[in-house]
Protein backbone atom coordinates (compact mmCIF):
# COMPACT_ATOMS: atom_id res chain seq x y z
CA UNK A 1 0.00 0.00 0.00
CA UNK A 2 1.30 3.47 -0.84
CA UNK A 3 1.47 6.40 1.55
CA UNK A 4 -0.96 8.39 -0.62
CA UNK A 5 -3.70 5.76 -0.26
CA UNK A 6 -3.42 5.32 3.49
CA UNK A 7 -5.67 6.31 6.36
CA UNK A 8 -3.81 7.11 9.58
CA UNK A 9 -4.99 7.63 13.16
CA UNK A 10 -2.82 9.70 15.54
CA UNK A 11 -3.43 9.46 19.30
CA UNK A 12 -1.55 11.79 21.66
CA UNK A 13 -2.69 13.99 24.55
CA UNK A 14 -0.25 16.74 23.47
CA UNK A 15 -2.19 19.10 21.19
CA UNK A 16 1.03 20.49 19.72
CA UNK A 17 2.11 17.01 18.65
CA UNK A 18 -1.28 16.35 17.04
CA UNK A 19 -1.11 19.65 15.16
CA UNK A 20 2.44 19.00 13.93
CA UNK A 21 1.63 15.49 12.72
CA UNK A 22 -1.61 16.57 11.05
CA UNK A 23 0.15 19.38 9.15
CA UNK A 24 2.92 16.99 8.08
CA UNK A 25 0.64 14.16 6.94
CA UNK A 26 -2.34 15.98 5.43
CA UNK A 27 -0.60 16.44 2.07
CA UNK A 28 1.07 13.01 2.17
CA UNK A 29 -1.76 10.58 3.00
CA UNK A 30 -5.36 10.03 1.97
CA UNK A 31 -6.74 10.71 5.46
CA UNK A 32 -5.33 11.66 8.85
CA UNK A 33 -7.46 11.58 12.00
CA UNK A 34 -6.14 13.00 15.29
CA UNK A 35 -7.48 12.21 18.76
CA UNK A 36 -6.41 13.48 22.18
CA UNK A 37 -8.36 11.04 24.37
CA UNK A 38 -7.21 7.39 24.21
CA UNK A 39 -10.54 6.24 25.69
CA UNK A 40 -12.04 6.74 22.22
CA UNK A 41 -9.68 4.16 20.67
CA UNK A 42 -12.12 1.18 20.79
CA UNK A 43 -14.92 3.03 19.02
CA UNK A 44 -12.58 4.59 16.44
CA UNK A 45 -10.80 1.32 15.65
CA UNK A 46 -13.98 -0.73 15.31
CA UNK A 47 -16.00 1.82 13.36
CA UNK A 48 -13.39 2.77 10.77
CA UNK A 49 -10.55 1.15 8.83
CA UNK A 50 -7.15 2.64 9.63
CA UNK A 51 -4.02 1.38 7.90
CA UNK A 52 -1.71 2.64 10.64
CA UNK A 53 -1.94 4.13 14.14
CA UNK A 54 0.59 6.54 15.66
CA UNK A 55 0.24 5.98 19.42
CA UNK A 56 1.85 7.93 22.26
CA UNK A 57 3.55 5.92 25.03
CA UNK A 58 2.19 8.15 27.82
CA UNK A 59 -1.14 9.86 28.44
CA UNK A 60 -0.99 10.81 32.11
CA UNK A 61 1.76 13.29 32.97
CA UNK A 62 1.50 12.43 36.68
CA UNK A 63 2.26 8.76 35.98
CA UNK A 64 4.42 8.82 32.85
CA UNK A 65 5.39 5.15 32.98
CA UNK A 66 4.66 4.14 29.41
CA UNK A 67 2.25 1.45 30.59
CA UNK A 68 -0.69 3.43 29.21
CA UNK A 69 0.78 3.13 25.73
CA UNK A 70 1.40 -0.60 26.13
CA UNK A 71 -2.16 -1.07 27.41
CA UNK A 72 -3.69 0.69 24.38
CA UNK A 73 -1.32 -1.10 22.01
CA UNK A 74 -2.60 -4.46 23.28
CA UNK A 75 -6.20 -3.20 23.03
CA UNK A 76 -5.74 -2.17 19.40
CA UNK A 77 -4.21 -5.55 18.59
CA UNK A 78 -7.13 -7.33 20.26
CA UNK A 79 -9.74 -5.31 18.34
CA UNK A 80 -7.94 -5.16 14.96
CA UNK A 81 -4.96 -7.55 14.92
CA UNK A 82 -3.84 -6.49 11.44
CA UNK A 83 -3.48 -2.80 12.32
CA UNK A 84 0.08 -1.48 12.23
CA UNK A 85 1.02 0.61 15.27
CA UNK A 86 3.98 2.97 15.60
CA UNK A 87 4.72 4.12 19.14
CA UNK A 88 5.66 7.75 19.85
CA UNK A 89 8.16 7.97 22.69
CA UNK A 90 10.76 10.14 24.39
CA UNK A 91 14.45 9.30 24.94
CA UNK A 92 13.83 8.14 28.50
CA UNK A 93 11.18 5.59 27.43
CA UNK A 94 13.22 3.76 24.81
CA UNK A 95 13.43 0.57 26.91
CA UNK A 96 9.62 0.52 27.06
CA UNK A 97 9.42 1.27 23.35
CA UNK A 98 11.67 -1.70 22.60
CA UNK A 99 9.37 -3.80 24.77
CA UNK A 100 6.44 -2.55 22.69
CA UNK A 101 7.99 -4.23 19.62
CA UNK A 102 7.59 -7.57 21.38
CA UNK A 103 3.98 -6.65 22.21
CA UNK A 104 3.18 -6.18 18.52
CA UNK A 105 4.19 -2.64 17.59
CA UNK A 106 5.66 -2.28 14.11
CA UNK A 107 8.20 0.36 15.12
CA UNK A 108 8.67 3.40 17.33
CA UNK A 109 9.60 7.03 16.75
CA UNK A 110 11.59 9.12 19.24
CA UNK A 111 10.53 12.70 20.00
CA UNK A 112 11.58 15.11 18.64
CA UNK A 113 11.66 13.35 15.26
CA UNK A 114 12.86 14.35 11.83
CA UNK A 115 9.89 14.67 9.49
CA UNK A 116 11.65 12.72 6.75
CA UNK A 117 12.34 9.86 9.18
CA UNK A 118 8.70 9.72 10.30
CA UNK A 119 7.42 9.66 6.72
CA UNK A 120 9.90 6.97 5.66
CA UNK A 121 9.01 4.82 8.69
CA UNK A 122 5.30 5.01 7.87
CA UNK A 123 5.94 4.36 4.17
CA UNK A 124 8.10 1.30 4.91
CA UNK A 125 5.49 -0.22 7.22
CA UNK A 126 2.67 0.34 4.72
CA UNK A 127 4.80 -1.23 2.00
CA UNK A 128 5.30 -4.34 4.14
CA UNK A 129 1.53 -4.82 4.30
CA UNK A 130 1.72 -6.10 0.73
CA UNK A 131 4.73 -8.32 1.51
CA UNK A 132 3.86 -10.75 4.34
CA UNK A 133 7.43 -12.06 4.52
CA UNK A 134 8.44 -8.68 5.93
CA UNK A 135 5.72 -8.59 8.57
CA UNK A 136 6.00 -7.93 12.28
CA UNK A 137 6.96 -11.55 12.96
CA UNK A 138 10.28 -10.78 11.27
CA UNK A 139 10.84 -7.38 12.82
CA UNK A 140 14.29 -8.29 14.11
CA UNK A 141 15.53 -10.00 10.94
CA UNK A 142 17.91 -7.19 10.11
CA UNK A 143 18.61 -5.95 13.64
CA UNK A 144 22.01 -7.62 13.78
CA UNK A 145 23.46 -5.22 11.24
CA UNK A 146 26.49 -4.57 13.46
CA UNK A 147 29.37 -6.65 12.08
CA UNK A 148 31.63 -6.20 15.11
CA UNK A 149 28.98 -7.20 17.66
CA UNK A 150 27.83 -10.80 17.65
CA UNK A 151 24.61 -12.01 19.24
CA UNK A 152 21.26 -13.55 18.45
CA UNK A 153 19.90 -13.72 22.01
CA UNK A 154 16.80 -11.69 22.85
CA UNK A 155 18.74 -9.33 25.10
CA UNK A 156 21.24 -8.55 22.32
CA UNK A 157 18.49 -8.06 19.75
CA UNK A 158 16.99 -5.48 22.10
CA UNK A 159 20.35 -3.69 22.20
CA UNK A 160 20.62 -3.74 18.39
CA UNK A 161 17.14 -2.22 18.16
CA UNK A 162 18.10 0.51 20.61
CA UNK A 163 21.35 1.29 18.75
CA UNK A 164 19.44 1.66 15.50
CA UNK A 165 17.05 4.13 17.11
CA UNK A 166 19.41 6.30 19.09
CA UNK A 167 22.42 6.37 16.76
CA UNK A 168 21.00 8.97 14.31
CA UNK A 169 20.26 11.36 17.19
CA UNK A 170 22.80 13.49 19.06
CA UNK A 171 21.64 12.21 22.45
CA UNK A 172 24.35 11.60 25.06
CA UNK A 173 24.67 7.87 25.73
CA UNK A 174 25.75 6.06 28.90
CA UNK A 175 26.78 2.43 28.41
CA UNK A 176 26.67 0.28 31.55
CA UNK A 177 28.07 -3.21 31.92
CA UNK A 178 30.65 -5.41 33.60
CA UNK A 179 34.25 -5.51 32.42
CA UNK A 180 34.70 -7.54 29.26
CA UNK A 181 31.13 -7.23 27.96
CA UNK A 182 32.01 -5.16 24.89
CA UNK A 183 30.94 -1.65 25.87
CA UNK A 184 33.55 -0.16 23.52
CA UNK A 185 32.08 -2.09 20.58
CA UNK A 186 28.63 -0.70 21.39
CA UNK A 187 30.04 2.84 21.45
CA UNK A 188 31.77 2.36 18.09
CA UNK A 189 28.59 0.92 16.55
CA UNK A 190 26.58 3.95 17.69
CA UNK A 191 29.11 6.27 16.06
CA UNK A 192 29.21 4.29 12.82
CA UNK A 193 25.41 4.43 12.51
CA UNK A 194 25.21 8.10 13.45
CA UNK A 195 25.04 11.17 11.24
CA UNK A 196 28.61 11.89 12.43
CA UNK A 197 30.03 8.61 11.10
CA UNK A 198 32.33 10.36 8.61
CA UNK A 199 33.76 12.55 11.37
CA UNK A 200 36.35 11.63 14.05
CA UNK A 201 35.70 8.95 16.67
CA UNK A 202 37.96 9.60 19.66
CA UNK A 203 38.21 7.15 22.55
CA UNK A 204 39.73 8.13 25.90
CA UNK A 205 40.35 5.73 28.78
CA UNK A 206 39.47 8.49 31.19
CA UNK A 207 39.73 6.31 34.28
CA UNK A 208 43.47 5.89 33.69
CA UNK A 209 44.21 9.64 33.63
CA UNK A 210 45.90 11.14 36.66
CA UNK A 211 44.76 14.46 38.09
CA UNK A 212 47.66 16.23 36.39
CA UNK A 213 47.03 14.68 32.97
CA UNK A 214 43.24 14.97 32.98
CA UNK A 215 42.88 18.59 31.83
CA UNK A 216 45.79 18.44 29.40
CA UNK A 217 44.49 15.25 27.77
CA UNK A 218 40.89 16.41 27.40
CA UNK A 219 41.24 20.16 26.91
CA UNK A 220 44.80 20.60 25.59
CA UNK A 221 47.49 23.04 26.64
CA UNK A 222 49.61 25.95 25.46
CA UNK A 223 53.39 25.68 25.12
CA UNK A 224 55.04 26.54 28.43
CA UNK A 225 51.86 26.10 30.48
CA UNK A 226 53.70 23.61 32.70
CA UNK A 227 57.14 21.96 32.86
CA UNK A 228 56.66 19.33 30.14
CA UNK A 229 54.49 21.47 27.84
CA UNK A 230 57.08 21.83 25.08
CA UNK A 231 54.53 22.47 22.32
CA UNK A 232 50.95 23.60 21.89
CA UNK A 233 48.60 20.61 22.02
CA UNK A 234 44.93 20.25 21.25
CA UNK A 235 42.87 18.09 23.60
CA UNK A 236 40.56 15.19 22.86
CA UNK A 237 37.49 17.43 22.83
CA UNK A 238 38.94 19.40 19.93
CA UNK A 239 40.15 16.23 18.18
CA UNK A 240 36.58 14.91 18.27
CA UNK A 241 35.05 18.15 16.90
CA UNK A 242 32.13 17.32 14.62
CA UNK A 243 32.30 13.66 15.62
CA UNK A 244 32.00 11.44 18.70
CA UNK A 245 33.95 11.50 21.96
CA UNK A 246 33.89 8.20 23.87
CA UNK A 247 34.92 8.46 27.54
CA UNK A 248 35.55 4.97 28.88
CA UNK A 249 35.67 4.09 32.60
CA UNK A 250 34.02 7.39 33.54
CA UNK A 251 32.93 5.98 36.89
CA UNK A 252 36.55 6.07 38.11
CA UNK A 253 37.21 9.81 37.88
CA UNK A 254 37.49 12.01 40.96
CA UNK A 255 34.95 14.62 42.07
CA UNK A 256 37.36 17.37 41.03
CA UNK A 257 37.68 15.88 37.54
CA UNK A 258 33.91 15.49 37.36
CA UNK A 259 33.44 19.21 38.07
CA UNK A 260 35.79 20.16 35.22
CA UNK A 261 34.09 17.76 32.82
CA UNK A 262 30.62 18.99 33.78
CA UNK A 263 31.63 22.60 33.13
CA UNK A 264 32.85 21.72 29.64
CA UNK A 265 29.69 19.76 28.82
CA UNK A 266 27.35 22.47 30.10
CA UNK A 267 29.04 25.30 28.22
CA UNK A 268 29.99 23.19 25.18
CA UNK A 269 33.37 24.89 25.24
CA UNK A 270 36.82 24.16 26.64
CA UNK A 271 39.83 26.23 27.62
CA UNK A 272 43.34 24.96 27.03
CA UNK A 273 45.69 25.04 30.03
CA UNK A 274 47.74 28.21 29.94
CA UNK A 275 45.16 30.27 28.06
CA UNK A 276 42.01 32.21 28.89
CA UNK A 277 40.35 31.83 25.49
CA UNK A 278 37.31 29.51 25.47
CA UNK A 279 37.01 27.27 22.41
CA UNK A 280 33.53 26.06 21.35
CA UNK A 281 33.31 22.30 20.69
CA UNK A 282 30.67 20.29 18.84
CA UNK A 283 30.76 16.64 19.93
CA UNK A 284 28.43 13.71 20.46
CA UNK A 285 29.27 12.25 23.89
CA UNK A 286 29.25 8.55 24.75
CA UNK A 287 30.40 7.36 28.19
CA UNK A 288 30.88 3.90 29.66
CA UNK A 289 31.38 2.46 33.12
CA UNK A 290 31.34 -0.90 34.88
CA UNK A 291 29.54 0.65 37.85
CA UNK A 292 25.78 0.04 38.19
CA UNK A 293 23.66 3.16 37.80
CA UNK A 294 22.59 3.11 41.48
CA UNK A 295 26.25 3.28 42.55
CA UNK A 296 27.04 5.93 39.95
CA UNK A 297 24.22 8.06 41.39
CA UNK A 298 25.78 7.98 44.89
CA UNK A 299 26.75 11.63 45.34
CA UNK A 300 29.57 10.68 47.72
CA UNK A 301 31.40 9.29 44.68
CA UNK A 302 29.79 10.83 41.62
CA UNK A 303 27.95 14.08 40.94
CA UNK A 304 24.28 13.47 40.18
CA UNK A 305 24.11 16.51 37.89
CA UNK A 306 26.87 14.96 35.76
CA UNK A 307 24.98 11.65 35.63
CA UNK A 308 21.96 13.48 34.19
CA UNK A 309 24.19 15.31 31.72
CA UNK A 310 25.82 12.15 30.30
CA UNK A 311 22.78 9.88 30.52
CA UNK A 312 20.11 11.00 28.06
CA UNK A 313 19.78 7.34 27.07
CA UNK A 314 21.41 4.37 28.77
CA UNK A 315 22.32 0.99 27.32
CA UNK A 316 22.91 -1.88 29.73
CA UNK A 317 25.18 -4.51 28.17
CA UNK A 318 24.42 -7.92 29.72
CA UNK A 319 27.11 -10.19 31.16
CA UNK A 320 27.82 -13.32 29.13
CA UNK A 321 26.12 -15.51 31.75
CA UNK A 322 22.83 -13.78 30.79
CA UNK A 323 23.28 -14.40 27.07
CA UNK A 324 24.44 -18.01 26.96
CA UNK A 325 22.54 -18.49 23.72
CA UNK A 326 25.35 -16.46 22.10
CA UNK A 327 28.26 -18.57 23.38
CA UNK A 328 28.33 -20.94 20.38
CA UNK A 329 28.26 -18.01 17.95
CA UNK A 330 31.03 -16.12 19.78
CA UNK A 331 33.18 -19.23 20.20
CA UNK A 332 32.95 -20.07 16.50
CA UNK A 333 33.96 -16.52 15.63
CA UNK A 334 37.00 -16.53 17.93
CA UNK A 335 38.07 -20.01 16.79
CA UNK A 336 38.03 -18.89 13.17
CA UNK A 337 39.81 -15.62 14.01
CA UNK A 338 42.69 -17.24 15.89
CA UNK A 339 43.02 -20.20 13.56
CA UNK A 340 43.79 -17.69 10.81
CA UNK A 341 46.06 -15.61 13.05
CA UNK A 342 48.19 -18.58 14.14
CA UNK A 343 48.14 -20.38 10.76
CA UNK A 344 46.12 -23.36 11.98
CA UNK A 345 43.70 -25.48 9.99
CA UNK A 346 40.00 -24.80 10.33
CA UNK A 347 39.25 -25.28 14.02
CA UNK A 348 35.93 -26.21 15.55
CA UNK A 349 34.68 -27.36 18.96
CA UNK A 350 33.29 -30.73 19.88
CA UNK A 351 29.82 -30.89 21.39
CA UNK A 352 31.32 -31.69 24.78
CA UNK A 353 33.66 -28.69 24.60
CA UNK A 354 30.82 -26.35 23.74
CA UNK A 355 28.75 -27.81 26.57
CA UNK A 356 31.61 -27.13 28.98
CA UNK A 357 31.61 -23.47 27.95
CA UNK A 358 27.84 -23.17 28.21
CA UNK A 359 27.93 -24.44 31.80
CA UNK A 360 30.61 -21.97 32.86
CA UNK A 361 29.61 -18.66 34.51
CA UNK A 362 32.24 -16.43 32.77
CA UNK A 363 33.11 -13.83 35.43
CA UNK A 364 35.39 -12.23 32.81
CA UNK A 365 32.59 -12.15 30.20
CA UNK A 366 33.30 -12.11 26.45
CA UNK A 367 36.91 -11.02 26.99
CA UNK A 368 37.49 -14.16 29.08
CA UNK A 369 35.88 -16.36 26.43
CA UNK A 370 38.16 -14.79 23.83
CA UNK A 371 41.20 -15.52 26.00
CA UNK A 372 40.11 -19.14 26.54
CA UNK A 373 39.59 -19.80 22.84
CA UNK A 374 42.83 -18.09 21.79
CA UNK A 375 44.84 -20.16 24.26
CA UNK A 376 43.10 -23.36 23.16
CA UNK A 377 43.81 -22.67 19.48
CA UNK A 378 47.49 -22.00 20.21
CA UNK A 379 48.01 -25.09 22.36
CA UNK A 380 45.85 -27.63 20.52
CA UNK A 381 47.40 -30.18 18.13
CA UNK A 382 44.02 -31.05 16.66
CA UNK A 383 41.55 -29.11 14.56
CA UNK A 384 38.75 -30.11 16.95
CA UNK A 385 38.88 -28.59 20.41
CA UNK A 386 37.90 -30.92 23.25
CA UNK A 387 36.92 -30.05 26.85
CA UNK A 388 40.48 -30.55 28.11
CA UNK A 389 41.70 -27.91 25.64
CA UNK A 390 39.58 -25.25 27.33
CA UNK A 391 41.39 -23.87 30.38
CA UNK A 392 39.50 -21.22 32.32
CA UNK A 393 41.43 -18.09 33.30
CA UNK A 394 43.09 -18.60 36.71
CA UNK A 395 42.49 -14.97 37.60
CA UNK A 396 38.72 -15.47 37.26
CA UNK A 397 38.43 -18.98 38.76
CA UNK A 398 37.34 -19.18 42.39
CA UNK A 399 38.50 -22.74 43.00
CA UNK A 400 37.21 -24.80 45.90
CA UNK A 401 36.85 -23.80 49.53
CA UNK A 402 39.52 -25.56 51.59
CA UNK A 403 41.28 -25.37 54.92
CA UNK A 404 38.55 -23.40 56.67
CA UNK A 405 39.29 -20.34 54.55
CA UNK A 406 36.12 -18.82 53.08
CA UNK A 407 35.82 -18.76 49.29
CA UNK A 408 35.92 -14.97 49.02
CA UNK A 409 39.20 -14.74 50.94
CA UNK A 410 40.68 -17.64 48.99
CA UNK A 411 39.68 -16.03 45.69
CA UNK A 412 41.35 -12.76 46.69
CA UNK A 413 44.53 -14.62 47.66
CA UNK A 414 44.54 -16.57 44.40
CA UNK A 415 43.95 -13.40 42.37
CA UNK A 416 46.72 -11.47 44.14
CA UNK A 417 49.23 -14.31 43.78
CA UNK A 418 48.38 -14.78 40.12
CA UNK A 419 48.89 -11.07 39.42
CA UNK A 420 52.24 -11.05 41.23
CA UNK A 421 53.41 -14.14 39.36
CA UNK A 422 52.46 -12.80 35.93
CA UNK A 423 53.98 -9.35 36.58
CA UNK A 424 57.22 -11.00 37.71
CA UNK A 425 57.17 -13.27 34.64
CA UNK A 426 56.91 -10.18 32.40
CA UNK A 427 59.68 -8.33 34.28
CA UNK A 428 57.29 -5.69 35.56
CA UNK A 429 55.83 -4.83 32.14
CA UNK A 430 52.22 -3.93 33.03
CA UNK A 431 51.00 -3.92 29.42
CA UNK A 432 52.27 -7.45 28.76
CA UNK A 433 51.05 -8.69 32.15
CA UNK A 434 47.57 -7.27 31.56
CA UNK A 435 47.39 -8.93 28.14
CA UNK A 436 48.40 -12.33 29.54
CA UNK A 437 45.84 -12.01 32.33
CA UNK A 438 43.10 -11.08 29.86
CA UNK A 439 42.59 -7.66 31.45
CA UNK A 440 42.83 -4.05 30.32
CA UNK A 441 45.67 -2.02 31.80
CA UNK A 442 43.09 0.04 33.71
CA UNK A 443 41.52 -3.09 35.24
CA UNK A 444 44.96 -4.38 36.25
CA UNK A 445 45.88 -1.04 37.85
CA UNK A 446 42.64 -1.18 39.88
CA UNK A 447 43.58 -4.64 41.14
CA UNK A 448 47.09 -3.46 42.02
CA UNK A 449 45.55 -0.65 44.07
CA UNK A 450 43.04 -3.06 45.63
CA UNK A 451 45.77 -5.45 46.80
CA UNK A 452 48.21 -2.61 47.64
CA UNK A 453 50.81 -4.09 45.31
Q: Residue 78: its pLDDT value, please?
A: 86
Q: Where does the pLDDT of residue 152 fall: very low under 50, low under 70, confident under 90, or very high at 90 and above? A: confident
Q: How confident is the model at residue 453 (pLDDT cuts 50, 70, 90)?
A: confident
- How is 22-70 classified by DSSP, letter by letter? HHHHTTTSSEEEEES-GGGHHHHHHHS--SEEEEES---TTT--SHHHH
- Whether the pLDDT of residue 322 is over 70: the answer is yes
Largest CA distance in the chain: 79
pLDDT exceeds 60 at position 405: no
CATH fold of 164-316 reads Rossmann fold (3.40.50)
For range 31-55, the mean pLDDT: 90
* Chain mean position to CA 200: 19
DSSP single-letter state for residue 411: H
Tell me where in the chain the CATH 1.10.10 domain(s) lie. Answer: 407-450
Q: Mean of the pLDDT values across residues 428-443?
A: 79
Outline which parts of the chain fall under CATH 3.40.50.2300.
3-138
What's the start-to-end Cα distance of the chain, in Å? 68
Confidence bin at 66 (pLDDT 50/70/90): low
Check pLDDT > 70 for residue 331: yes
Give the rounded distance of the alpha carbon of 50 from its chain centre.
Answer: 36
* Residues carrying CATH 1.10.8.60, the chain: 320-389
What pLDDT score does 372 carry?
A: 95
Per the document, the length of the chain is 453
CA distances from 175 to 59, 163, 316, 317 (A): 29, 11, 6, 7
User: What is the average per-residue pLDDT within 73-94?
Assistant: 83
For residue 394, what are the contacts with CB-CB under 8 A and spacing of at least 6? 414, 418
Fold topology of 320-389: Helicase, Ruva Protein; domain 3 (1.10.8)
Q: Look over the chain and give the mean of its residue pLDDT values, rounded to a whole number.
A: 84
* pLDDT of 144 above 60: no
Q: What is the pLDDT of residues 153-193, one digit of tens each?
A: 888 988 998 999 999 989 999 999 999 999 999 999 999 99
What mean pLDDT is predicted for residues 125-135? 59
Q: Is the pLDDT of residue 90 over 80?
A: no
> Tell me, what's the pLDDT at 408?
52
**What pLDDT was estimated at residue 109?**
85
Residue 125, SS3 per DSSP? helix
Q: Which residue has the higher pLDDT, 197 or 95?
A: 197
CB 47 within 8 A of CB 22: no
Rounded to an integer, what distance in angstroms lies between the CA atom of residue 202 and that of residue 187? 11
Q: pLDDT tens across 6-23, in order? A: 899 999 988 888 999 999
Distance CA 187, CA 189 (A): 5
Q: What is the mean pLDDT of residues 433-445?
A: 79
CB atoms within 10 A of CB 94: 23
137 has a pLDDT exceeding 60: no
Report, at the CATH architecture level, how domain 3-138 is classified: 3-Layer(aba) Sandwich (3.40)
132: confidence class by pLDDT, cuts 50, 70, 90: very low
**How many percent of the chain have pLDDT more than 70?**
89
Q: Give the tens place of pLDDT for each residue, 206-251.
A: 888 887 789 888 998 888 767 677 788 889 999 999 999 999 999 9
Q: pLDDT digits over 105-125, tens only?
A: 888 888 878 888 889 889 888
Q: Where in the chain is the domain with CATH 3.40.50.300?
A: 164-316
pLDDT digits (tens, 9 = 90+) for 242-301: 999 999 999 989 899 999 999 999 999 999 988 889 999 999 999 999 988 888 877 788
Average pLDDT over residues 60-74: 71
CATH class of 407-450: mainly alpha
| Stretch among 94-108, 154-168, 308-322, 368-382 having the lowest mean pLDDT | 94-108
- Say if residue 315's pLDDT is above 90: yes
State the pTM of this model. 0.61
Residue 115: CB atoms within 10 Å: 13
Please give the pLDDT value at position 404: 42
pLDDT of residue 363 exceeding 50, the answer is yes
Average pLDDT score over residue span 97-106 = 80
Provide the pLDDT confidence category of residue 399 given band limits of 50, 70 and 90. Answer: very low
Q: Return the percentage of the chain with pLDDT > 90, whole number.
A: 43
Amino acid sequence: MSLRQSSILVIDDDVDVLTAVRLLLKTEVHEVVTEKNPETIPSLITSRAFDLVLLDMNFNASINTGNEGLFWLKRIKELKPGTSVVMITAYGDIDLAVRSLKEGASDFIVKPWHNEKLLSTIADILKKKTHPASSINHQFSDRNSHPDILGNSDVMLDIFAKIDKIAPTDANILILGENGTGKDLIAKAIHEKSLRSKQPYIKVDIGALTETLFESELFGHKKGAFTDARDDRIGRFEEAAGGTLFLDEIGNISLQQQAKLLTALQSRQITRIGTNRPIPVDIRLICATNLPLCELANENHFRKDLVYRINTVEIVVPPLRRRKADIALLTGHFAKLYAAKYFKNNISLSGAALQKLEHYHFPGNVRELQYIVERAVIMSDSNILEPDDLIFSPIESSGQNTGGENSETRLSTLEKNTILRVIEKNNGNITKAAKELGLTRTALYRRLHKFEI
